[in-house]
């Protein structure tokens, strides 16, 4: 079932669609417990696990939520997605990647666009605890890239019933170049500030295995990935990292029902990197909208009280699989 998206007429500009929720969206209230998980290599990450269902109903399944670059439970979409799942009797497990919960992780590396092994471990852990549930996943931006890597590269035979990925940078090199031009430089500047701060905090009191000064002086995302992301994660070069981890190449391998939600006007992504139908497996469906920006998809007719398409589209998609055997 396809649910139509009618962008808010006051917020048609892709940059307004992208920026508005980050600064003016009210934080959704949702109750959750925080849980620290120790990973096989001794490092850790933190989960936010939703509490209870409306009217004490039993849950119909569990949804894993993977955030974007620099994201966390404080991101504008995080609590709202958890609440949207809860209103549809779906539990949610928001996964903070390594170092993303506000506490530096133990290992020199943290997460990147193709790091799917941590996700595989968490999914397996939760399923062992609740083996009688159906499981779903949502990946936002870089989290969507990680989820595609998990579905199509790292673990094709996985326990998920279905998945949704939103505003994914399908080609990492093309995205890095695109973000270094025009208005997109403003988004790059914001991301670089966050990445550099996290790197500086992590290595303030421990030995740094890379040239920290070079990373902190990086002028763009490509240079930062070259100085930090690639060497910290044992890639030979930045292009090696981009080539191995770019999500588009793995879409053809996916054997799990997966919905791709993307906007043509996404200010993070050049049009040429958006996948075409012949690059998708038979299990993958692309919903490509003219408007929506990057993880925006704001609708409604009220300028000050807009509504958000993702909060109704994603539960509706998952609901179509609930009753399937």
Closest CA to 314 of 258, 266, 268: 258
Domain count across the chain: 2
State yes or no: pLDDT of 325 exceeds 60.
Answer: no
What pLDDT was estimated at residue 26?
A: 86
What pLDDT was estimated at residue 155?
A: 87
Q: How large is the average pLDDT for residues 74-100?
A: 96
The model carries a pTM of 0.96
What pLDDT was estimated at residue 92?
A: 96
- Inside any domain, residue 234: yes
Q: Which two tokens stand for residue 95?
A: 């996964």
State yes or no: pLDDT of 68 exceeds 90.
Answer: yes
Residue pLDDT, tens place only, 215-232: 999 999 999 999 999 999
- 284 with 204, same domain: the answer is no
- Inside any domain, residue 38: yes
- 188 with 89, same domain: the answer is no
Rounded CA separation 105/102 (Å):
9
Of 220, 245, 270, the domain-final residue:
245
Across the chain, mean pLDDT equals: 94
**In this structure, what is the dihedral angle of CA atoms 225, 231, 234, 240, given to the nearest 10 degrees?**
50
Residue pLDDT, tens place only, 147-167: 999 999 988 889 999 999 999
85-116 burial code (b ≥16 CB/10 A, e <16): bbebbbbbbbbbbbbbbeebbeebbbbbbbbb
- 226 with 254, same domain: the answer is no
Query: Do 111 and 48 form a contact (C-beta atoms < 8 A)?
Result: no
What pLDDT was estimated at residue 55?
A: 64
How deeply is 208 buried, as exposed, middle or buried, from its count of CB atoms within 10 A (0-12, 13-18, 19+)?
middle
Q: Containing domain of residue 283, as a range?
A: 14-171+247-322
Residue pLDDT, tens place only, 181-197: 999 999 999 999 999 99
Q: Which two tokens stand for residue 137?
A: 């996943």
**In this structure, what is the dihedral angle of CA atoms 198, 199, 204, 208, given to the nearest 10 degrees?**
160
Report which DSSP code applies to 80. H
């Amino acid at each position: 079932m396809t649910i139509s998206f009618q962008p808010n007429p006051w917020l048609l500009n892709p940059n307004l669609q992208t920026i508005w929720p980050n600064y003016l969206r009210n934080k959704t209230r949702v109750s959750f417990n925080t849980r620290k998980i120790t990973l096989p290599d001794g490092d850790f990450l933190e989960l936010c696990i939703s509490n209870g269902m409306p009217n004490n109903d039993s849950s119909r399944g569990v949804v894993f939520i993977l955030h974007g670059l620099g994201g966390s439970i404080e991101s504008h979409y995080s609590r709202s997605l958890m609440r949207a799942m809860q209103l549809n009797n779906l539990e949610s497990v928001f996964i903070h990647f390594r170092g993303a919960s506000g506490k530096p992780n133990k290992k020199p590396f943290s997460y990147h666009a193709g790091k799917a092994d941590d996700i595989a471990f968490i999914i397996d852990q939760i399923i062992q605890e609740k083996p009688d549930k159906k499981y779903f996943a949502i990946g936002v931006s870089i989290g969507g890239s990680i989820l595609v890597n998990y579905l199509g590269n790292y673990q094709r035979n996985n326990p998920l019933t279905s998945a949704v990925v939103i505003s994914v940078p399908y080609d990492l090199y093309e995205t890095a170049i695109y973000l270094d031009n025009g208005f997109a430089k403003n988004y790059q500047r914001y991301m670089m500030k966050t990445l550099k701060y996290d790197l500086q905090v992590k290595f303030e009191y421990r030995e740094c295995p890379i040239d920290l000064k070079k990373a902190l002086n990086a002028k763009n995302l490509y240079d930062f990935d070259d100085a930090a992301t690639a060497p910290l994660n044992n890639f030979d070069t930045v292009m090696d990292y981009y080539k191995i981890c770019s999500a588009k190449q793995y879409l053809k391998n996916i054997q799990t029902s997966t919905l791709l939600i993307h906007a043509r006007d996404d200010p993070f992504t050049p049009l040429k990197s958006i996948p075409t139908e012949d690059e998708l497996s038979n299990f993958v469906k692309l919903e490509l909208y003219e408007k929506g920006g990057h993880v925006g998809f704001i609708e409604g007719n009220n300028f000050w009280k807009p509504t958000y398409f993702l909060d109704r589209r994603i539960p509706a998609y998952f609901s179509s699989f609930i009753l399937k055997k």
